Structure 1
Amino acid sequence: MSRVSRVVVVGGGISGLAAAHALVTGPNPPEVTILEGSPRLGGKLAGADLEGVPVDLGAESVLARRPEAVELIKAVGLADDLVHPATTSAGLWIGDRIRAIPPTVMGVPVDPSATTDVLGEAAAEQVAHESDLPAPALTEDVAIGRFVAERMGPAVTDKLVDPLLGGVYAGKAEEISLAAAVPDLYARLRTAPSLLAATAELRELGQKRAGQPVFAGVVGGINRLVTALEQDLTARGVKIRTKLAVRRIARTAEGFELEAGPVPAPTYLTADAIVVAVPAAPAARMLAELVPAATTELAAIEYASMAIVTLAVRKADWPAGATGSGFLVPSVEDRTIKAATYSHAKWAWSAEAGGDLAVLRTSVGRLGEEYVLQRSDEELVQLAVADLRKAIGLDGVVGSLVTRWGGGLPQYAVGHLDRVDRVEAAVAGVPGLAVCGAAYRGVGIAACVASGGKAATRVREHLDALETMKS
C-alpha cells in the first residue's frame, strides 16, 4: 500500500486556508500541514470586541457576485449566519459636506449630468465631451487614473476614481493597472467607441443583476470564517503550526525540503508538494533558489500600509444627518481619514449586538503615507474623531481600537497581470509547487479563495500524476 502524499501549505491567511480546505475535501485527500509565521491564522482577517461589541479589524465583507467565498462560508457551517448589508449607499466627503456618489464603474462616471455636484459644472461638462474623442482602442495595459484624467479630466480621477478604487488598494489611482483592477472595463475599451459607452454597457449589465446582493458578511463578523475554517481543517486531520516561519524551500530527490524557525535551531520538513500562500516579499525570499525568475518578479510588487480606527459611540449621540453606510474621502481633500463605514447601519447584526452603542470604522494611510502611521494610537484616534466631527458632527466617542496593517495591501501597477503570468510560468516549471494569495489576481476575499482553490487543483494534478507513475 502506497503512503499518503504530504502537502505543506506555507501561510495561514485566507488563501492558504482555502487551498488546504480544497485539498482535504476532494477525493483521496493528502496529508496537509499549514505553517504560519505569526501567532495566529487569518492574515488580514481578524476580529475583536470593542466595548462588548464584536468588530472586524480587517476586511468586513466578501463579494457575493463571485461564488468562491460564499461557497466556502457555507462549506464550513456558517450558511445560517450569512447576511447582506442593510445599506451600501456611501457618500463622498468633498468640501463642506457629504455628497451622493453618482453612478460609476469603480469611479468612472456613467452619466455626465449626474457628476455636477461632485465635480463642479466645468468638470462635468468635460466628462460629457469624452465621447467626442477618438475611440480608446486599448491594446495594452494603462494606469486607470492617468487614462481617465486624459479622457475625462483630472477632477474625475481626483474626486471619483481615487476614493472608489484607490481606497480598495490603499494606493494611488494614477498608478493602478486598469487591466488588473477593472478587467471588465479594460476588455470593453478594446472595442468601445468611448469610455462613457464602455461604462454605460457595464452599468447596464450590472442593473440586470440588480436583484442580487453585491456583498455578503457573517453575523458577528467575517473573521468568524477563520475560526470555522480552523475547526473544519483540524477535524479533517490538517496539522496547523503557528509561529513557524519558513525561510527556504529546496528540491530533493523525493520532493521538497522546507527550512523553518529560528536560524540557530531550524525545523526541517519534507513534502511531496507545496503551496506558497504568503505575501510577495516573503514568497520571493523562500523561492530564491527554487524559482529565481519568480523571485525577481515578486520582489518588484509594492505593498501599502494602512490602519483601521474602530470607534464606539452612543446611539443617542449619533448625528441625525449621518445616513447611509458611510463615506469615502478623496486624497485631494487632505484629510487624515480615507473612508468611514457606519457598521451599525451597514450590518443589522452590529446594530443589534451594540445595544445602546453604535460602531463605526475609519481607514487611515495609503501608499506613500507611512508617516501618518508613525503617530501613536491615541493621536490616530484624535485625528479620526476630529475628521468625523467636521464631516458629520459626531461627538462623544466612548471606545476606540487601532489596528495597523503594515504592508497589508499589494499594489497592482501597470503590467501587473503580465508579471503574474511570468511568475506562474516560472512556478509551473517546478512540478508540485503552486503559489496563491492577494499578490496575484485580486485582493478581495473571494479572489483569494479562488487563488487558493486554483493552487490546490495544481497540486492535486501533480499528486495524481505521481500516483499514476507509481502504479
Structure 2
Amino acid sequence: MSSVVVVGGGISGLAAAYALATGPNPPRITVLEGSPRLGGKLAGAELEGIPVDLGAESVLARRPEAVDLIKAIGLGDDLVHPATTSAGLWIGDRIRAIPPTVMGVPVDPAATTDVLGEAAAEEVAHEAELPSPALQEDVAIGRFVAERMGKAVTDKLIDPLLGGVYAGRAEEISLAAAVPDLYAKLRTAPSLLVATAELREAGQRRAGQPVFAGIVGGVNRLISGLEKDLTARGVQIRRQLAVRRITRTADGYELEAGPVPAPTLLSADGVIVAVPAAPAARMLAELVPAASAELATIEYASMAIVTLAVRKQDWPEGATGSGFLVPSVEGRTIKASTYSHAKWQWSSDAGGELAVLRASVGRLGEEYVLQRSDEELVALATADLQRAVGLQAPVVGSLVSRWGGGLPQYAVGHLDRVDRLEAAVAAEPGLAVCGAAYRGVGIAACVASSGKAATRVQAHLDALATMAP
C-alpha cells in the first residue's frame, strides 16, 4: 500500500487527510503535528461552564467546502446559523450602523454620511466622475480606494471590515487576493461605485442564504470530529513530532522530525505540507528552494481573543446586534467585539444567566499590545466595552487566547507569489502544500486548499500504481 505523510494537524492538514482517506484507493496516512494538540487556530474551552471558541467561531456558508465537511463527519444536525449578524462600527462616541459595502468599499455614497461625515461622503459620490480604473495588475486595496474615494473610506470602513479579517493594514492588503470578485470587476467597470453596486446586487440575489454557519458547542468541534473519524479509518495521528526537513529519496520522500540528537525518520510516497509559511519554508529549503524562498516572504500578524462572561441582567439594553468593529484610527485597544450570546442561540442557551462576549486585540505591527499580561488585556477590553456600550457590571469570568503569528498577510502580488511557489512544488511529484497562507484564510478556503492538495497527491499515487510490475 502506498503511504502519505501529512505535515500539520490543523484544519488544513486534517481536511487533507480526510480527503485522502475517503477517496478511492486510500493510502496509508500519517498526520504529524508538532504541538501537543490538534486544531491549529481552531480551539475551544469552557468559561464558567459554557463552551466557547477560542479562535475562529464560524465558517463561510456561501461556499460549500466547510459545511460539506461538517456534515460528512456527522455534525450536520448541529450545524447552525447566526441569530443576528448586524454588527456596527464604534466611531467617536457611539456604535454606528455599517452602510452597504463590499468588504468596506461603499455602494451608496449617501448612506456613508453618518460614518464618514458629510464632506467625506461627498468625495465618495464624486468617484464615478474619475477615469475608469481599468486595472491590469494587483493593487493595495486601501491605497487604491483612498485615491478614488478618499482616505476616510479606507480608515473607517475598509480598515475595520477587511483589515480585521487579516489583522493587517488595509493599505498593504492585496485587492486581487482579498476581494477577487471586485478586482475582476475593476478590469472593465467604469467606476468603483458601479463595480460595488453590481456585486452588491448579485449578492442580494442570494438573499435568504446564510453567509455564515457555526456548530452547536463551537466550531472547534470540527477538529475533534475529524480526529475521531480519521482514527476510525486507520489514519495514524502523532502529536509533538515537528518536521524539520523533507528530502527526496530513490522511491519517494524522507521526513526528518523530532529532536536533532535523536531524530525520527519517516518515509512516504507522497507528502502534504499543511503548516504556516515560515515552518513550511524551513522544511522545504533543500527540496524546493524556489518555493521556500517565496514562502519566507509571507508575513504573519499576531493577535489575541479576550473572552468574557457577564450576567445577562447586567448586559446593557442598548447593546444590540451581533457586536461591533473598531477602526484603528479610533485609537482603542480592541479591534472588534462579538456578542456571542446574541449571535449564537446555542451560546445563550448554554450560558443560562451568563452572557459570553469576545473582543479581539492586536494587529500587524502591534505586537507590543500583546506583551501585556492576561489581566491587563482583560481590564483594557472591559474598559473599552464600558465606553462603547456602557457595560458597567463586573466581569464574572475571562479567558485570553493568544495567537502568535496567527494570520498570514496577503500583500500586493500575493496570488502571483502563490502561483510561482505552487509551480515549484508541482515539479516534485507527490508533493503538495495547503493552508491559510495560499488562497484564503477562512476555514472553507483552507478545506478547499486541502482538497486540491489531496487530489494532486492521489493522482501521483495512482500513476505509481499503474507503473508497478
TM-score (norm 1): 0.99
Number of the residue aligned with 1:401: 399
Give matches, 1:101-140, under 5 Å: 101-140=98-137
In 1, Cα distance between equivalents of 2:109 and 2:187? 22
Aligned: 1:381 with 2:378: yes
Unaligned runs of 5+ in 1: none
In 1, Cα distance between equivalents of 2:38 and 2:230? 12
Number of the residue aligned with 1:201: 198
Aligned: 1:35 with 2:32: yes
- Count of equivalent residues: 468
Which of 289, 292, 295 pairs up with 1:295? Answer: 292
CA shift for structure 1 position 254: 1.1
In 2, Cα distance between equivalents of 1:423 and 1:21? 24
Which of 407, 412, 415 pairs up with 2:413? Answer: 415
Number of the residue aligned with 2:6: 9
Which of 368, 372, 389 pairs up with 1:371? Answer: 368
Aligned: 1:446 with 2:424: no
Number of the residue aligned with 2:173: 176
Which of 342, 345, 363 pairs up with 2:342? Answer: 345
Number of the residue aligned with 2:247: 250
Q: Secondary structure at the match of 2:131?
A: coil
Aligned: 1:213 with 2:206: no
Number of the residue aligned with 2:312: 315
CA shift for structure 1 position 211: 1.1
Aligned: 1:392 with 2:386: no
Q: Secondary structure at the match of 2:165?
A: helix
CA shift for structure 1 position 28: 0.9
CA shift for structure 1 position 319: 0.2
Letter matched to residue 159 of structure 2? D
Q: Secondary structure at the match of 1:99?
A: strand
Number of the residue aligned with 1:231: 228
Letter matched to residue 322 of structure 2? S
Number of the residue aligned with 1:464: 462
Aligned: 1:22 with 2:19: yes
Number of the residue aligned with 1:266: 263
Q: Secondary structure at the match of 2:171?
A: helix
Q: Secondary structure at the match of 1:87?
A: coil
CA shift for structure 1 position 67: 0.2
Deviations along 1:306-332, whole A, 9 cap, x unmatched?
000000000000000000000000000
Q: Secondary structure at the match of 2:229?
A: helix
Give matches, 1:181-196, under 5 Å: 181-196=178-193
TM-score (norm 2): 1.00
Number of the residue aligned with 1:430: 428
In 2, Cα distance between equivalents of 1:456 and 1:402? 35
Letter matched to residue 406 of structure 1? G
In 2, Cα distance between equivalents of 1:464 and 1:65? 33
Letter matched to residue 458 of structure 2? R
Q: Secondary structure at the match of 2:396?
A: strand
Deviations along 1:76-117, whole A, 9 cap, x unmatched?
000000000000000000000000000000000000000000
Q: Secondary structure at the match of 2:287?
A: coil
In 2, Cα distance between equivalents of 1:147 and 1:52? 47
Task: Give % identity.
Answer: 85
Q: Secondary structure at the match of 1:269?
A: strand
In 2, Cα distance between equivalents of 1:459 and 1:425? 14
